[in-house]
Structure formats: structure tokens, C-alpha cells
Amino acid sequence: MISIFISFWATKRPQLLLISNHFGATSMHDTEHIQSECLCIVKMRHIQDKAMASQTSLPHARGILKQQKGFERFQLFRQAPPADLVPWIENFWAVRWDLRDQPPYTQQILPHPNVGVSIEDKASRIVGPVSGIFSYTLEEQGVVFGTKFKPGAFVDLWNQPMSSLTDKEYPLEHLFGPRAHTLEADVLSKDTEEEMTLLMADFWRSVLTSYDPIIEDLCSLIDLLANTPTLLKVEDLAAQTDRSVRSLQRLFKHYLGVSPKWAIKRYRLLEAAERIANAPDTDLSQLALELEYFDQAHFTRDFKSIIGVPPARYASQL
């Protein structure tokens, strides 16, 4: 057997250093074979290390309502895309659950204005922008693997305005034909999320052939809204971004499938839900003031109209 020391230089490329040739390496062919196997192991470990690094670099999963209860019932995996897919894809994700001998659990999500593609057994689908709450019921045992596209990045694949996909779902074969069934079987045959990610990334490389620079502008607009929950009016957004209100409305409708007014309200509610989750005993009147609602009653109506319960009840259910 050959003793092999494995090291990584600054380039992160695996280097194999043969130290001795003992215990069974009787030919150059044997030596090369062992080196090849070790190199494969090192490369796979390197891929996994990179996957873990990219996963930990992602921001937390904002929009999953009542996260603590949810995470008691399922495991969430998230991973940033490889560099060549960053222009289109925000992240890959997977949810695994085992609720055998337990009641089904419905997870609610307050979605961002993104399109998602999910791979699941006999139900792989394209999910358009969701104007309300997205609900998914987990039962028995299963896994879903998904791709979250950047805002506006699905337009070229869909070849229609995103408004045609708002609040709609389509089977994956609607867009990709028989390839969708092969993709589903291949992805779900993998044992790890990292393997699923590698396979899914290869698929997207084969179909994402053009890039619209407007996607970068859209991402900047959404980042501005996500980080400025006190931005209250479309006119304010237009002024800050040197655009007209009408141009923003056209841009959002075509690329995001929602209006600027909807997006402003959505990120305000995402901020409110997150703050309540982080501090369930928070002073709701003070929170309404900080988010620049006219009064607490207005905040309560806004919150209940989308999330389904008033802020105080939501806090008590966490």
C-alpha cells in the first residue's frame, strides 16, 4: 500500500505527494491508480468544503414564518450557486422531513418576488411570484430540491412577462418537455444535497444561454427595498433610483410579475414578521412607529391582510 500525504497549496488545488512505495504497489500502473482514487476523494471533499462554505455565507432564510416550529419538523439546506450561475440564480435549497407516525405539518412562507423551480417526486414544478402566502404541507417522509432564481432572471426562460406567471404553477415539463422527467429522476436518486446541487447546476448551464443586464438593476432595487423597510411610496423609490413611477411599474410588471407598491408592502411585512419572531414580546405600537405606519391599527390591518392573523396573535403562536 502506498503512503500518501495530501496537501493543499494556496491555489486550493489538491497535490498528492508520494512518500513511499510499500505494501502492494508493484507497478507504475498500481501507483497511478491509487493516486487517481485519492485525487477523486480529495476533489470530492474539496467540493463539499466549498459547498459548506457557500452555505454558511448565505443570509438567513427570511420569510419562513414560525421558523422555530418548522425547523423542529424539517431540515433546510441552502447553498449559493457556482460562480458561473450567479447572474441568474440566488440559491439552491432542499427540505427534508420525516413525519412518519406524526401528523402532517403545513409550513407557511411569506415569499419574495422570485420564481422558484422545485424538484419533487411526481410533482416537479415552476412556481411563479406569489402575491399572498405560500403554503406547503409536509407529510410522511420526503425531500424537495429547489432553485431560487434572482428577481427577473426567469423571464428569458419563460419568454413571457412574469405577470403571466404570478400566482400560478406549472409542471416542469410545461417548459422543458421530457427532459423534466429525466431531471427529476436523476436529482432524486442522489443521496446528498451537494450531489443534487452539482447535477442541477449542470442542467441550468445547458439552458441558461443569455443574460439580461437589467437583472442586476432589479436586484439592486429589491435590495434597496429589503434594507429600507421605511421606504413607503413608489414615488420615493422612483426618486431614489432616478426613474419615473411609470417606468418602475412597467419594469416590475414585466420582470417581477408584481407592482412596486406590492414589493414595498411585502418587504415592510417581512421586516415586521422578522422583528416579532426575534422578540415576541416586542412593543407592537413601537414597532408600528418604527416602520412608519400611521398608527398601530393600520399596521395590524396590513399584517392580518397577508399573514392571516394580527401581529399580537402571531407573536403568541411562535
C-alpha cell at 163: 405577470
* pLDDT single digits (tens) 61-76: 899 999 999 999 999 9
* pLDDT single digits (tens) 30-57: 444 444 444 433 333 343 444 343 444 5
User: Is residue 11 over pLDDT 90?
Assistant: no
pLDDT at residue 316, as a whole number: 95
pLDDT at residue 39, as a whole number: 40
User: Is residue 150 over pLDDT 80?
Assistant: yes
Instruction: Identify the three-state secondary structure at position 305.
Output: helix
Q: Once rounded to an integer, what is the mean pLDDT over residues 109-123?
A: 97
User: Is residue 233 over pLDDT 80?
Assistant: yes
User: Is residue 1 over pLDDT 80?
Assistant: no
Reference 153, options 212, 204, 220; nearest CA is 212
Reference 118, options 136, 103, 131, 132; nearest CA is 136
pLDDT at residue 105, as a whole number: 98
pTM for this one? Answer: 0.80
Reference 116, options 181, 180, 172, 196; nearest CA is 172
CA atoms of 146 and 76, how far apart (whole Å): 11
CA atoms of 314 and 192, how far apart (whole Å): 35
pLDDT at residue 297, as a whole number: 96
List of residues 6+ apart from 220 with CB closer than 8 A: none
Residue boundaries of the structural domains of the chain: 2-57, 67-207, 214-316
Q: Once rounded to an integer, what is the mean pLDDT over residues 237-248?
A: 96
CA atoms of 180 and 118, how far apart (whole Å): 11
Reference 63, options 1, 114, 139; nearest CA is 114
pLDDT at residue 61, as a whole number: 80
Higher-scoring residue by pLDDT: 148, 209:
148
User: Is residue 6 over pLDDT 70?
Assistant: no
Q: Which CATH class is domain 214-316?
A: mainly alpha
* pLDDT single digits (tens) 284-306: 999 999 999 999 999 999 999 99
CA atoms of 113 and 119, how far apart (whole Å): 20
List of residues 6+ apart from 273 with CB closer than 8 A: 63, 65, 110, 303, 307, 314
User: Is residue 5 over pLDDT 80?
Assistant: no
pLDDT at residue 59, as a whole number: 63
CA atoms of 144 and 122, how far apart (whole Å): 11
